[in-house]
Amino acid sequence: MSASQYLMAIDQGTSSSRVVVFDQNAAVVASAQQEFPQEFPQPGWVEHDPEVIWNSVLEVTRKSLAAADVKNYAGLGITNQRETTLIWDRKSGECVHHAIVWQDRRTADYCQKLKDKGAEESVTQKTGLRLDPYFSATKIAWILENVANARQRAENGQLAFGTIDCFLLWRLTGGRVHATDASNASRTLLFNIHTQEWDRELLELFDVPESLLPEVKDCADDFGVTDQSVLGAQIPICGIAGDQQAALIGQAGFQTGATKSTYGTGCFVIANTGQDAVRSKHNLLTTVAYRLDGKTTFGIEGSIFVAGSAIQWLRDQLRIIESAPDTQAIAEATGIVEHVHVVPAFAGLGAPYWDPKARGAILGLSRDSGINEIVTATLQAVAYQTKDLVNAMSDDGMHPSVIRVDGGMVANDWFLQFLADMVNVTVERPVNVESTVLGAAFLAGLGSGVFASTDAIADLWASDRVFEPQMPDDQRNALYRGWQDAVARVRSSVP
């Protein structure tokens, strides 16, 4: 390659939109970020105004274009909050309803009705997911049922459905391209991960007209170019993946068995299972990790609802720390806490328990337990929950030899050492812990030919620090038994 080439990556998240410009060696040239509000129209409902999302993306994109002040953009990549659902008019581009966000539970009863009819087994077999409001299909059905004339307009082919990647692509290309990638499609409950096609039986089950659906492309593919009038430049869009899949790519997790764990607000673990769509026996999800050159690589995924947000809870509700990084010095001074367990089940327990009615607790307090023990036990809880997930993955045949970690919480060295000790696996932190946006840039680089192969990407990935397990087995087992006992006490029903 002669002249330098640049890659732009958009990361459209649940609470903020950000854009990063990278050079061809994956070094950051410029970035911009903007937070935006969510809307909560009723208990359990979570929405975004699509115009607020679009404007925030436009603004951070224009800001980073100006800050980077370079010309040779080889490609643009998009990564996004997954499952969040939008429907818009193909002519005007206007959305018929606010975005229904992944966290929204308004379709819980609808899901239960379908489960009562015995639909879940076939849905899980085809999609790798659970019949849960979290995913897009029942959100689409809700909009079609509740917005005046929406179903009729959908049946006439006037409307388009998309997850956030697809909506941004539509807008960025001036309404020319209606497409998504296989990783985002695999989160809708409408996409058969084995045939890699929208599934007629699922469309019928959820009563979704096929005319609404976007074309499904590879993650590195030709998605069109940005319209001159939108960004003042025509940049080829050549990479798309959902946020957790993008993080796996940003961690260069291309080998079967490669595992990444992202510690932001919540925690998401994905293990690359290669060409096998591994069906979990422990309530983990099977998902498309990525699809490149028409070849699908699968992943197994588990999530912890509360990770970094437990640290925010210490800061904002308990007010026992001033800022999140304080937790490291406190834990270093306190040392591993043996008997106090914080179970941060504020919104129920995710995988492998799936107990929505469980609630949090602090257990094992004695007269000498204080603020420091509670802070340290909270960090430990995030590691115990990761062990729960990794144990489930191991039982499903996917035991990692290394876990690559990213997200805001991994700045905490004490946490990562305890994590390595508890999970009993090497933990590796990259130089760039913003794996999600980096993954979108990697895909754009693959799609535009800046990177010749996934090997070239793996060569660019750089390790910052490795944490090796050091804890004696006896201590690990005793601590983990204490955690399991604490979890058993907060569950809504005895399993």
User: Any contact of residue 325 with ligand ADP (CB under 6 A)?
Assistant: yes
Distance (Å, rounded) from C-alpha 110 to C-alpha 106?
A: 9
CB of 414 to ligand ADP, least distance (A): 8
391 binds ligand ADP (CB under 6 A): no
412 to 431, contacts with ligand ADP by CB under 6 A?
412
Closer residue to ligand ADP, CB minimum distance, 283 or 312: 312
Q: Smallest distance from the beta carbon of 290 to ligand ADP, in angstroms?
A: 20
Q: At what angle do helices 243-250 and 435-448 cross, to 10 degrees?
A: 80
Give CA separation, 78 vs 75, 171, 220, 311, 439, in Å. Answer: 10, 13, 10, 29, 9
The smaller minimum CB distance to ligand ADP, of residues 162 and 264, is found at 264
328 touching ligand ADP, by CB under 6 A: yes
Binder to ligand ADP among 344, 350, 407, 430 (CB under 6 A)?
407
Burial class (CB in 10 A: 0-12, 13-18, 19+), 422: buried
Based on the shown chain and the rule CB under 6 A, indicate whether residue 312 belongs to the binding site for ligand ADP.
yes
Strand partners of residue 153: none
The one segment of 137-145, 271-279, 388-396, 408-416 that binds ligand ADP by CB under 6 A: 408-416
Query: Which residues of 331-385 form beta strands (DSSP E)?
Result: 341-343, 361-363
Stretch that binds ligand ADP, among 35-43, 191-199, 323-331, 389-397 (CB under 6 A): 323-331
Spell out the residues 6+ positions from residue 490 whose beta carbon is closer than 8 angstroms to its own: 343, 345, 349, 358, 359, 360, 361
Q: Cα separation of 83 and 285, whole Å?
A: 14
Q: How far apart are CA 46 and CA 36, in angstroms?
A: 13
Among 408, 458, 460, 491, binds ligand ADP (CB under 6 A): 408
CA gap 94, 96 in Å, rounded: 6
Residue with tokens 């050079």: 23
Separation CA 436–CA 442 (nearest Å):
10
CB of 274 to ligand ADP, least distance (A): 28
Question: Of residues 252, 393, 409, 438, which one binds ligand ADP by CB under 6 A?
Answer: 409
Q: How many residues interact with ligand ADP (rule CB under 6 A)?
A: 16
| Residue closest to ligand ADP when measured from CB atoms | 408
Nearer to ligand ADP (CB atom), residue 232 or residue 325:
325
Any residues with CB less than 8 A from the CB of 370 and at least 6 apart, and which?
none
CA distances from 341 to 251, 291, 304 (A): 31, 41, 17
Question: In this chain, which of 411, 458, 460, 471 binds ligand ADP, going by CB under 6 A?
Answer: 411
- Told to check if 324 binds ligand ADP by CB under 6 A, we report yes
With beta carbons less than 8 A apart as the criterion, state whether 203 and 136 touch. Answer: no
DSSP letters, 8-54, are EEEEE-SSEEEEEEEETTS-EEEEEEEE---B-SSTT--EE-HHHHH
Mark the segment that binds ligand ADP (CB under 6 A) among 49-57, 163-171, 320-328, 368-376.
Answer: 320-328
Residue placing its CB nearer to ligand ADP in the complex, 216 or 437: 437
Strands 197-198 and 191-192 come out as antiparallel
Q: How far is the CB of 110 from ligand ADP (least distance, A)?
A: 28
Does 311 participate in binding ligand ADP (rule CB under 6 A)? yes
* Minimum separation from the CB atom of position 281 to ligand ADP (A): 29
- Closest separation in Å from C-beta 184 to ligand ADP: 18
With binding defined as CB under 6 A, does residue 327 bind ligand ADP? yes
Binding string, residues 55-94; x marks residues near ligand ADP by CB under 6 A: ----------------------------------------
Amino acid letter for position 150: A
Nearer to ligand ADP, 306 or 389 (CB): 306
- Shorter beta-carbon distance to ligand ADP: residue 286 or 412: 412
Residue with tokens 């459905």: 161
**x/- site string to ligand ADP, residues 8 to 27, per CB under 6 A?**
-------x------------
Q: Are strands 179-181 and 215-217 parallel, antiparallel or unpaired?
A: parallel
State the amino acid at position 4 in one-letter form: S
With respect to ligand ADP, which residue has the nearer C-beta, 411 or 458?
411
Tell me the β-bridge partners of 402.
426
For position 189 contacting ligand ADP by CB under 6 A, the verdict is no
Using the rule CB under 6 A, is 265 a contact of ligand ADP?
Answer: yes
Q: Which residues bind ligand ADP (CB under 6 A)?
A: 15, 264-265, 308-309, 311-312, 324-325, 327-328, 407-409, 411-412
